[in-house]
Amino acid sequence: MIHEISVFLVVELVGTVAFACSGAMVAIEKRLDLLGVIVLGVITAVGGGMIRDILIGTRPPSLFLNPVYVATALIAVLILFFIMKFSRRCQDLLYSETYEGMMNFMDAIGLGVFTVVGMDTAINAGYGEYRFLMVFLGVITGVGGGILRDIMAVQTPYVLKKHIYACASLAGALCYMILLPRMERDGAVVISACLVVTIRVLARKYRWNLPRIEIRDRE
């Protein structure tokens, strides 16, 4: 039991680090200062859960009661910042294909885990019967941090325009909702999270995108 929780926690922390780094990178690209990098990094990592807690009325949001996620995000952001600050070679590395692939993979893990965590939180808060709400809370836990990051960095939310990001989270949430009554929780968690990761990795490799409308400019 303790062993299983530990594995789950490690996976959550991997996701937290990936989300924090994605927020920090956006802040660095926008030329924000150290505090801006920290704030964007941490908010990307814990923002989805904060939105979820505000919606279901958990007071105060759980991130304040269990600071391990904020602390992990903070440490990850600081390490990234000082590597970027003092090593030109590492700066180049961070823009490499390898780094991007690795971050994409970690980010996918975070998306999968956070989606499932969000749904569990909804169930524990007594909303297990509202299926629409449950799925929504899973997706918002997964993508909410990235939305806050993009709003604060004043750029169109990534989730609204590229690759199959929110859709992967949605697929995982629906999968978890269907599996949960039919098998034990651990199996449902693993399958749902793996589904999210698989969709994200394939979406990046084969450049899947949702349809969009090509309009002529009219102005």
Q: Which positions lie near its own copies, rule CB under 8 A?
A: 27-36, 39-40, 54-57, 59-61, 64-65, 67, 70, 81, 84-85, 91, 95, 127, 130, 132-133, 136, 147, 151-157, 159-162, 166-167, 209-213, 215, 218
CB of 5 to its own copies, least distance (A): 23
**CA 78 – CA 72 distance, rounded (Å):** 10
Cβ 111 to its own copies shortest distance, Å: 14
Closer residue to its own copies in complex, CB, 4/64: 64
For the CB of residue 96, give the shortest distance to its own copies in the complex, in Å. 11
Query: Would you call 198 exposed, middle or buried from its count of C-beta atoms within 10 A (0-12, 13-18, 19+)?
Result: middle
Quote the CA–CA distance of 9 and 84 in Å, as a whole number: 28
- Measured distance CA(90)–CA(207) in Å, rounded: 27
Q: Whose Cβ is closer to its own copies: residue 6's or residue 155's?
A: 155
Instruction: Report, in Å, the least distance between residue 46 CB and its own copies.
Output: 11
Sequence-separated (6 or more) residues with CB below 8 Å from residue 70: 42, 45, 46, 63
